[in-house]
């Protein structure tokens, strides 16, 4: 019997619904080709609903979503809602409620896509960032004393326990192992690495020279877990240096693992190097639960309803979702189709300058499957 996956769809705000529609168009075409089923249920959570009802998210939203196989998200963010309310109330709340402890962000330059880094090609920019997604500075532990006075103090703590660090690092090693094999080792390895039977590389991005407690823990756990992954070469880079190399020598990276806050920052840098927000996708992953996939570009409200926004990030998010549902071939097919149309069709990745409308881009991906 062929499989059927239940997907919760959160189109969200601004251009979210437009890109989600193209993502679903591609998902449906892929499902037909590969013989599995997809059924969708839509939820109107987002800025408009909040402005109408004063309610950001139903109390049982997390419980509701747990009944699905995956969540497909458009974008959260509304020009009439104070920044922070929807981000915290929807996106972060769902990450926590569904224990999506990994944020997975492929940084991949597709053919034909312009990168701001001179001289770099798709062969140079192709790595994955594994960002811890529910701990660290995002835990929200902290507070004020003497607020509003000259003596006031604000504290916000980077909190990690060993379990959180370990499960994230282990996931990152698994990702590294999955990306390469003895037959297809990562191209950045030296002859000596190959002789040592390494296939992949995992870089811990931290700040051991200053954050001497939190990253001491990360570093110890990193090398402990590494023992279980003999084919993954380990590497370490401070976060500031990581930013330098992501720009100067992105080909040095295969998989990067880092904490929540650093991951937030470096993945936006990574997104820019791969051609911007029109193309960058991400997944909020709970490997044992319900994961949520999204284009990372935001709601881009000024383009709403014009049919000019680039849907490829949403399309790629859909591919990531299929991969996590166990439909790896279908996912690869979508990615290959995206590569064909970035390479041969689109003039630019930017909204309004693609040479095609949002829905035409979705059609092109379907035609090239």
Residue number, 76 or 109, with CB nearest to ligand IPM: 76
Burial of 100 (0-12, 13-18, 19+ CB in 10 A): buried
Instruction: Select from Mn ion, ligand IPM, none the partner in contact with residue 91, using the beta carbon and a kind-dependent cut-off of 5 to 8 Å.
Output: ligand IPM
Site string for ligand IPM, 214-253 (x = CB under 6 A): ----------------------------------------
Cβ 341 to ligand IPM shortest distance, Å: 26
Q: Using CB under 6 A, which residues numbered 263 to 302 contact ligand IPM?
A: 264
Query: Which pair of structure tokens corresponds to residue 149?
Result: 């006075």
CA distance 303 to 56: 23
CB 114 within 8 A of CB 275: yes
Taking the complex as a whole, how short is the minimal distance between the CB of residue 87 and ligand IPM, in angstroms? Answer: 4
Q: Which two tokens stand for residue 50?
A: 């909040």
Sequential DSSP letters for 121-140: -TTTSEEEEEEE-SSBGGG-
Site string for ligand IPM, 63-92 (x = CB under 6 A): ------------------------x---xx
Residues 89-128 that bind ligand IPM (CB under 6 A): 91-92
Could you tell me the smallest distance in angstroms from the CB atom of residue 26 to ligand IPM?
22
The 10 Å Cβ neighbour count of residue 149 is 9
Q: Do the bridges between strand 102-108 and strand 126-132 make them parallel or antiparallel, or are there none, so unpaired? A: antiparallel
Query: Which residue lies nearer to Mn ion by CB, 219 or 264?
Result: 264
Q: With binding defined as CB under 6 A, does residue 256 bind ligand IPM?
A: no
Q: What's the closest the beta carbon of residue 255 comes to Mn ion, in angstroms?
A: 19
- Please tell me the count of residues contacting ligand IPM according to CB under 6 A: 4
Two tokens, residue 162: 């060993």
In whole angstroms, the minimum distance from the beta carbon of 264 to ligand IPM comes to: 4
Residue number, 152 or 268, with CB nearest to ligand IPM: 268
The answer to whether 36 and 95 have CB atoms below 8 angstroms apart is no
Closest CB 261 distance from ligand IPM, rounded Å: 8
- Listed residue (214, 266, 222, 212) closest to 242, CA to CA: 266
CB 50 within 8 A of CB 85: yes
- Least distance (Å) from ligand IPM to the CB of residue 92? 6
Contact by Cβ (8 Å): 168, 101: yes
Count CB-CB contacts under 10 A for residue 243.
17
At 52, is the secondary structure helix, strand, or coil?
helix
Q: How far is CA 61 from CA 91, 225, 311, in A?
A: 11, 34, 26
Closer CB to ligand IPM, residue 38 or residue 271? 271
Residues touching Mn ion: how many (CB under 5 A)? 1
The reply on whether position 264 binds Mn ion by CB under 5 A is yes
Compute the distance between CA of residue 103 and CA of residue 125 in angstroms, rounded to an integer: 19
Residue 313 interacts with ligand IPM (CB under 6 A): yes or no: no
Q: Which stretch binds Mn ion (CB under 5 A): 107-115, 237-245, 256-264, 341-349?
A: 256-264
DSSP letter for 257, please: E
Of 32 and 268, the one with the shorter C-beta distance to ligand IPM is 268
- Which of 12, 112 has the CB closer to ligand IPM? 12
Q: What residues line the site for Mn ion (CB under 5 A)? A: 264
Interface positions with ligand IPM (CB under 6 A): 87, 91-92, 264
């Amino acid at each position: 019997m062929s499989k059927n996956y239940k997907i919760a769809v959160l189109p969200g705000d601004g251009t979210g619904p437009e890109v989600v529609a193209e993502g679903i168009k591609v998902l449906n075409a892929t499902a037909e080709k590969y013989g599995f089923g997809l059924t969708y249920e839509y939820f109107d959570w987002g800025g408009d609903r909040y402005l109408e009802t004063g309610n950001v998210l139903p109390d049982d939203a997390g419980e509701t979503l747990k009944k699905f196989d995956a969540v497909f998200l458009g974008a959260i963010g509304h020009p009439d809602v104070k920044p922070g309310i929807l981000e915290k109330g929807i996106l972060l709340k769902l990450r926590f409620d569904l224990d999506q402890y990994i944020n997975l962000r492929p940084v991949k330059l597709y053919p034909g896509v312009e990168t701001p880094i001179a001289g770099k090609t798709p062969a140079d920019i192709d790595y994955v960032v594994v960002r811890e997604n529910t701990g660290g500075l995002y835990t929200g532990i902290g507070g004020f004393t003497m607020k509003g006075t000259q003596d006031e103090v604000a504290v916000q703590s980077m909190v990690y326990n060993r379990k959180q660090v370990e499960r994230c690092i282990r996931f990152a090693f698994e990702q590294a192992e999955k990306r390469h094999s003895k037959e297809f080792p990562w191209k950045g390895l030296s002859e000596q690495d190959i002789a040592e039977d390494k296939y992949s590389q995992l870089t811990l991005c931290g700040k051991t020279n200053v954050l001497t407690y939190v990253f001491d823990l990360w570093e110890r756990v990193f090398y402990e877990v590494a023992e279980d992954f003999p084919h993954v070469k380990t590497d370490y880079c401070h976060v500031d240096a990581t930013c330098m190399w992501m720009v100067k020598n992105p080909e040095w990276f295969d998989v990067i693992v880092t904490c929540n806050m650093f991951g937030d920052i470096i993945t936006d840098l990574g997104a820019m190097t791969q051609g911007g927000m029109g193309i960058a996708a991400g997944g909020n992953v709970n490997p044992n639960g319900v994961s949520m996939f999204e284009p990372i570009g935001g709601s881009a409200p000024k383009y709403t309803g014009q049919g000019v926004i680039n849907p490829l990030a949403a399309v790629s998010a859909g591919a990531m979702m299929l991969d996590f549902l166990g439909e790896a071939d279908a996912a690869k097919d979508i990615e290959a189709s995206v590569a064909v149309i970035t390479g041969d069709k689109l003039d630019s990745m930017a909204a309004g300058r693609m040479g095609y409308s949002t829905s035409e881009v979705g059609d092109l991906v379907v035609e090239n499957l």
